[in-house]
Structure 1
């Protein structure tokens, strides 16, 4: 379950809109109507498998009974289920997930009834089933249709839709993800954001709030997309190397894609990191960074112009409001980007960027300020010239 403080802050981010997976939201009236659709997906999946549906379902039921206690131990159950009821629920939900992915992305033979809502319900922390059990049902069903496919690779189309950073997920990366390290579908998405190199060691540190994207831009800091081949969430500072570029500094960062479902996905990934002590705060660290950079819609516009943020949500003000709400009520402020932020802060506070920022804010913040500066400069030059000619005439 999501931490209480996060759920209270945004309860709608943790409740399914269409489909319930597992026991935690089973009695929610909103998802009751979709139970028939679930059965339709499962029936269609069985019809594609060249085997008796009864034999397949019996095999699935054997799997769930063999792992019953292990599966139940994954939940904070608020209701008592008998073994038959619980087993049927878990088999139905596992088969539905696999059938939905197979029929929607492979066969494309079923109407996309609320398909987008279903996809994002599958990433909710409180709407999961254990990945090890999903793997067992996968072996009983999808493997008969796609014998050379792993469960993780089978999830690829789903992950592409859920990916917050459109990182062009490499199938080789997915093939290296261990089932043992994956708790559920949300956990699988989180695995995609880990550094590729096993020897990469990331330490968490507290960082102070720096200046916004607009303020940093005025001081000569530029933002560009991340070029890292080893970590999609990697950030790096590029400091000037030449005398004529003394006023420029570049922060390379991930490209953040914002749409109507971004807040839900982001909140659930953060909740997963908060809830799991064995998981590093990759997403939480990024959330703190983007929250520090964005104060207003002008900051959003600057990041969009810099091609490190894509707004498919609506107005820039909506994006700014969403980002500003994300980090509220988090238990602690830890970041994996302390080194980059210290470098950025030291650069901003150094003599030239600091004064350049002040000059831009004072003299170049509006057309009228620029006109006033130009007129004042011309008037000053004319006074100097007049003074020189007066002295020469004498």
Structure 2
């Protein structure tokens, strides 16, 4: 009897949990970074000076920025009647916003709504000032944020962290309320973050698009990948590649492949790598601490995308990981102008690419499959294989080359001497 009662209790408990689980499992867009990604470089995922959203709220080293959130709130709202309008708008969104997180938020209604209001207004006002500061609208001198370059740099980094997000619809709703003069569009705030064309920003913000990003990092990711996604959708020339990797930059160079920095242009994506006539064209990549943090968080974002979704940044990093297997490979790419190193030695570049490439999961339909196929086809030709072997084993240092050159010269001199000897013999006879 006791066993039947316990079983019934268990069934009731599970039955009560199922509706909540089903509702929540279909919508979460904001997660904690998966442990296998976080373990490669934990600091790349943690905020340095500001917490946005609930995951890092209350950490001691982030509390200093709370006063700037309040300052922006006062700067934007001013009187209490407007404040109530903003507050009620966020209250009406509370449950939808909670459902965006994959875990339970341990904040009551007032705490959660206050956090969304402060964080959303901070994002709007900071981006307003950031987009205007170099245009002369905001003066750097005396500005508590923009007067210090390192603060701006850290804030830009922290806004792009996967765990440091709030739902984008909250930010957009607050922006619409605050856009009194109606002279600014939301895309104008996002554009300076992306360093892409305004056309790409506008396309990523299409209101009726079912795949529209759910937070700021997702939005920036979508904008940065937009032009490459368009190229991929119009490309029908992808070769099938049975081999799922390519040789390192040093090996490819020995096989006669030349690396060339791809020319910049409005329609040229930073992801657009092509291979033509023994030349691998790669857009310039700046290697820095900020770049590592941004890439790792975009990879974390792609990690939680549906399985069939393209993972452009992960694919790109996998490509880099194949090219750079040691510091000599990093040196090859740097000498060709493909990599711009802001960290120091080539060994640092190699370390960054290894950390990025560890646990970077490719798309099911790999974005560079056609490029891989063409490169492996080139390297698989016998003549190119022989050239690579010659370079690796016989021309791997300058003394070998000099010795060969000297031998060729001696051989040529010997042949000339022999020809003259034969000619003089015939003249005598």
Q: What's the TM-score once normalised by structure 1's chain length?
A: 0.85
User: What is the rounded CA distance, in whole Å, between the counterparts of 2:70 and 2:397 in structure 1?
Assistant: 61
Are 2:162 and 1:125 aligned? yes
State the alpha-carbon separation in 1 of the partners of residues 218 and 337 from structure 2: 28
17-26 or 71-80, larger mean C-alpha shift: 71-80
Asked whether the equivalents of residues 24 and 78 of structure 1 are also in contact (C-alpha less than 8 Å), the reply is no
Q: How far 1:210 moved relative to its partner?
A: 1.5
- Using the TM superposition, give the Cα deviation of residue 390 of structure 1 relative to its aligned residue in structure 2, in angstroms: 6.0
Look up the match of 1:238. 276
Q: Residue 261 of structure 1 aligns to a residue in which SS?
A: helix
Q: Which runs of 5+ in 2 are unaligned?
A: 1-31
C-alpha offsets along residues 138-186 of structure 1, whole Å, 9 cap, x if unaligned? 1111x225x13321221111223xxxxxxxx211221122255021111
Q: Deviations over 1:25-67 (max 9, x none)?
A: 1132221222112222333344xxxxx5423322221121111
Please give the alpha-carbon distance, in whole angstroms, between the structure 2 residues aligned to 1:369 and 1:377: 12
1:199 and 1:209 mapped to 2: Cα distance? 23
C-alpha spacing 1:197/1:30, structure 2 compared with 1 (3 Å): same
| Alignment of 1:211 onto 2:242 | no
Distance 2:407 2:360 in 1: 50
**Aligned counterparts of 2:86 and 2:345: Cα–Cα separation in 1:** 47
Counterpart pick for 1:327 among 357, 367, 372: 357
Question: Are 2:191 and 1:156 aligned?
Answer: yes
CA distance in structure 2 between the partners assigned to 1:183 and 1:149 by the alignment: 21
Paired with 2:392 and 2:79, the residues of 1 have a C-alpha distance of: 71
- Deviates most, 2-11 or 87-96: 2-11
Which deviates the most, 180-189 or 190-199?
A: 190-199
Contact 1:218-1:356 within 8 A present in 2 as well: yes
- The question of whether the paired residues in 1 share the 8 Å contact of 2:37 and 2:300 is answered with yes
- CA deviations on 1:289-321 (whole Å, 9 max, x unpaired) are 011111223322322233322222322221111
Decide whether the 8 Å contact of 1:124 with 1:265 is kept in 2.
yes
Match of 1:21, SS? coil
The aligned residue for residue 196 of structure 1 is: 230
Residue pairs, 1:214-363, within 5 angstroms = 214-226=250-262, 229=267, 231-239=269-277, 249-277=278-306, 279-331=309-361, 335-363=366-394
Answer yes or no: is 1:176 the counterpart of 2:203: yes
Do 1:124 and 1:186's aligned partners in 2 also have CA atoms closer than 8 Å?
yes
Are positions 1:136 and 2:136 aligned together? no
- Aligned to 1:237, the other structure's residue is in SS state strand
**1:98·1:138 contact (CA, 8 Å) conserved in 2?**
yes
Instruction: Specify which of 22, 31, 53 is matched with residue 62 of structure 2.
Output: 31
Residue equivalent to 1:374: 405
**In structure 2, C-alpha distance between the alignment counterparts of 1:207 and 1:336, rounded to whole Å:** 14
For the 8 Å contact 1:153–1:175, the answer to whether it is kept is no
Q: Which has the higher contact order (CA 8 A, sep 6+)?
A: 1
Q: CA RMSD in A?
A: 2.6
Name the residue aligned to 1:5: 36
Aligned counterparts of 1:291 and 1:13: Cα–Cα separation in 2: 18
Equivalence for 2:19: none
Cα distance in 2 for partners of 1:30, 1:77 equals 24
Structure-2 separation of matches of 1:34 and 1:282: 34
Distance 1:65 1:198 in 2: 41
- Greater Cα radius of gyration, structure 1 or 2: 2
Deviates more, 1:371-380 or 1:315-324: 371-380
Alignment counterpart, residue 131 of structure 2, candidates 105, 114, 122: 105
**Aligned residues, how many?**
370
> Which of 90, 100, 116 is the matching residue for 2:116?
90
